[in-house]
């Protein structure tokens, strides 16, 4: 039965392994509990149906056993009345109902076994569900602690490996380089301004010398 196979899978499931392998452990444990609850409801329904069928088969078996008794009494009456033909007909009915009774008897046995299997599955699933609900908060908390410890360990390893220090050193170097570049640009700009002023001053001196020379030459 597919239902019992699904129940068996849920019962065998290791909650710790499921959480460890899950990408989202909290969602996983909630989904497992939801699946168990759904399967539990289905198993309860199947148990009720199986029990009802078992009672129905027992009733059919009893009815046919009563028919066997009834027709046997009729066969005896026919024999007492020297009615062999009626006796034979009655005995044929006896055998027919006896076969039916035996057939229903076997079905009763098989159905009882099915009922017991379903009841066992129901008990196992109820126990597993109770365990899952009780352990869910604990398992999730354990997983969160493990994840926090793992992250802390990764951070410590990164510090021990010098990755953080290296990153800080690279950043410091970039800042120093940027400061040097800015200073160089400022110096270049200052040099350019001084050169232009010096050139203007030189032009003024040349103009003055030209005026003096012209004056001397009477030009």
Residue 205 lies in a domain: yes
Same domain, 128 and 219: no
Q: In terms of residue numbers, what domain contains 153? A: 2-161
Residue 166 lies in a domain: no
Same domain, 100 and 183: no
Same domain, 206 and 153: no
Residue with tokens 């309860």: 44
Torsion of CA 95, 96, 101, 102, to 10 degrees: 70
Candidate from 70-79, 104-113, 173-182 with smallest mean pLDDT:
173-182
Q: Using H for helix, E for strand and C for coil, what is the string for 85-107?
A: HHHHHHHHHHHHHHHHHHHHHHH
| pLDDT for 175 beyond 90 | no
Q: What is the mean pLDDT of residues 156-179?
A: 64
Residue 74 lies in a domain: yes
Domain count along the chain: 2
Same domain, 127 and 196: no
Q: Domain holding 114: CATH number?
A: 1.10.287
Same domain, 183 and 157: no
Per-residue confidence (pLDDT) for residue 15, from 0 to 100: 63
Query: Length of the chain in residues, anyone?
Result: 219
Same domain, 114 and 185: no
Q: What is the mean pLDDT of residues 133-160?
A: 69
Same domain, 188 and 117: no
Distance CA 128, CA 36 (A): 8
Same domain, 213 and 128: no
DSSP assignment letter at 162: T
In tens, the pLDDT along 28-76 reads: 777 878 888 888 888 889 899 999 999 999 999 999 999 999 999 999 9
Residue 169 lies in a domain: no
Q: How confident is the model at residue 8 (pLDDT cuts 50, 70, 90)?
A: low
């Amino acid at each position: 039965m597919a239902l019992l196979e699904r129940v068996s899978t849920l019962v065998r499931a290791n909650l710790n392994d499921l959480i460890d392998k899950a990408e989202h452990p909290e969602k996983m444990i909630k989904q497992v509990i939801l699946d168990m609850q759904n399967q539990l409801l289905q198993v309860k329904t199947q148990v009720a149906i199986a029990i009802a069928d078992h009672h129905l088969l027992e009733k059919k078996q009893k009815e046919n056993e009563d028919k066997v008794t009834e027709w046997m009494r009729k066969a005896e009456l026919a024999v007492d009345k020297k009615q062999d033909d009626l006796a034979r007909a009655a005995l044929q009915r006896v055998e027919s109902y006896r076969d039916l009774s035996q057939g229903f008897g076997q079905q009763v046995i098989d159905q009882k076994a099915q009922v017991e299997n379903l009841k066992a599955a129901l008990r196992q699933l109820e126990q597993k569900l109770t365990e899952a609900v009780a352990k869910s908060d604990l398992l999730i908390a354990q997983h969160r602690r493990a994840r926090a410890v793992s992250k802390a360990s990764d951070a410590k390893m990164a510090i021990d490996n010098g990755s953080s220090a290296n990153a800080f050193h690279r950043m410091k170097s970039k800042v120093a380089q940027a400061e040097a570049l800015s200073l160089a640009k400022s110096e270049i700009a200052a040099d350019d301004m001084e050169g232009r002023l010096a050139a203007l001053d030189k032009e003024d001196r040349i103009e003055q010398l030209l005026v003096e020379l012209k004056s001397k030459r009477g030009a």
